[in-house]
Amino acid sequence: MNQYDFKDRVAIITGGGQGIGFTVAQRLLASGAKVSIWDIDQPLLDKLPANLGVGDDRLLALNANISEEDSIGTAVAETIRKFGRIDVLINNAAIVGPNAATWEYPIKAFSDVVQVGLIGTFMVCRAVVPHMIAQNYGRVVNVSSVAGKEGNPKAPAYSSMKAAVLALTKSLGKELADYNIAVNAVTPAVAKTTLALSQDPAFLQMIVSKIPRGRMLELSEAASMICWLASEENSFTTAATFDLSGGRATY
C-alpha cells in the first residue's frame, strides 16, 4: 500500500464514520495526518478511536450535520481550535434516498437528498475554503458517483445530486486555480458501503451488472485514488473528475 506525506497536514472527512470516508481516514492517519471526522451517527463516532487505533492528539470525532449551516460552522471552529489549520477536505457525506421512478419519487425525499449531498457539500466548501486561501494551500476531494455521469434509473435524486457535485467541483476548482489549492472529484461505482448494501437487492444487482469489472468497488481502491488527489503531489490537476467506475463510465 502506497503512502503519501501527510505529516503535519490536517484533514476533514465528512461522513467518515464508516465506508469510504472511514477507509480514507485510515489511509491518511497511516500517512501521518491529523484527521477531523464529521458524522451524525454518534455510536459510530464513539467507536472511532478504538477502530482507528489513534489518540485524541491526531483524531477529532465530531457530531456534525452538513445540512445545517450552524453545525458546519461549529465543526470548522472545533477543528481549527484543536489542530490550528485545515489542509485537506474530503466531502464524502451524502444520503441515497429511496428507489422509485421519477414521476413517483417523493418530493420531500428528493429535497433531502439534495440538501445533504449538494447543498451540504457547498456549505462545507464555503466554510472551509477561506482557511485554505489564507494559507495558500489546500486539497479538496468531492466524492461524487458514476450515477452523476450516467444516471441510474429509479434514483433521480441521487443521480441529479451527484451530477451537480461534479459541476460544483469544476466551478470551485477554477475559482481557486490562482492559489495552491486543488479541487477534484471522484466518481465511484457502487462500493461495499452500508448505504449501498441497504438498497433494494434487485436494484443493487442491476447497477453491479453495468460494471465491466463485474464486481463492486473495494473501499481500499476508492481510498487510494482519493488520498493521491488529497496529497501535495497532486500539484497541477484541478477542476477534474477521476473515474472509479470499473469501466462503466462512457466519458
Place of cell 457539500: 121
Q: Check 4, 105, 158, 251 and give the catalytic one.
A: 158
- Using CB atoms within 10 A of its CB, is residue 65 exposed (0-12), middle (13-18) or buried (19+)? middle
The verdict on whether 158 is a catalytic residue reads yes
Place of cell 488520498: 227
Using the Cα atoms of residue 109, residue 112, residue 113 and residue 114 in order, give the sign of their dihedral: positive
Query: What does the block give as the cell for 157?
Result: 435524486
3-state secondary structure at position 171: helix
How far is Cα 41 from Cα 17, in angstroms, rounded to an integer?
7
Query: What does the block give as the cell for 131?
Result: 482557511
- φ, ψ dihedrals at 12, nearest 5°: -105, 135
DSSP-H helix ranges across the chain:
19-30, 42-52, 69-83, 107-114, 120-135, 146-150, 156-175, 194-197, 201-209, 219-229
The H or E element spanning position 198 is: none
Amino acid at 142: N
Taking alpha carbons only, the member of 25, 27, 28 closest to residue 14 is 25
Residues annotated as part of the active site:
158
